[in-house]
Amino acid sequence: MKQNKYDLEERTLKFAIDVRIFVKALPRTIGNVEDAKQLVRSSGSVGANYIEANESLGSKDKLMHLKISRKECKESIFWLRCINETNDLKNKDTAIRLIDEATELLKILSSIIEKLS
């Protein structure tokens, strides 16, 4: 079980890094700059809150951080879709892959939350 915890920590870190690489290639428009800022924040918060959940002070604290992490996944999906659907992206496949990864992380976090609730 402990190994899985660290695997998910690494996976959420990779997601945040991949998002940062993705936004570097976006066209510089007012909308993209603002959407990218939000996306960078939410994607990093997925992993940061998951790590906080693993270092929690108790079960209520753990559940709260897991729920925040899940919420940040949903927000990341929202910003990725906004960017994907308002641009003619050369790296559209990367956007789709990131949306898919955020969706998978969302499902994993939802499953963990359900088991703890």
Spans of all domains in the chain: 2-116
Indicate the pTM of the whole model.
0.92
Residue with tokens 């879709």: 81
CA distance 108 to 83: 24
CA distance 86 to 82: 6
- Residue 8 has a pLDDT of 96
- Residue 95 has a pLDDT of 97
Residues 17-66: pLDDT tens digits?
A: 999 999 999 999 999 999 999 999 999 999 999 999 999 789 999 999 99
Per-residue pLDDT, averaged over 67-95, amounts to: 97
Residue 103 CA: distances (Å) to CA of 29, 52, 72? 26, 21, 11
- Calculate the average pLDDT of the chain: 94
Per-residue pLDDT, averaged over 80-87, amounts to: 97
Phi-psi region of 70 (alpha: psi -120 to 50; beta: other; left: phi over 0): alpha
1 confidence band (pLDDT: 50, 70, 90): very low
pLDDT at 5 over 70: no
- For domain 2-116, which architecture applies? Up-down Bundle (1.20)
CA distance 116 to 62: 9
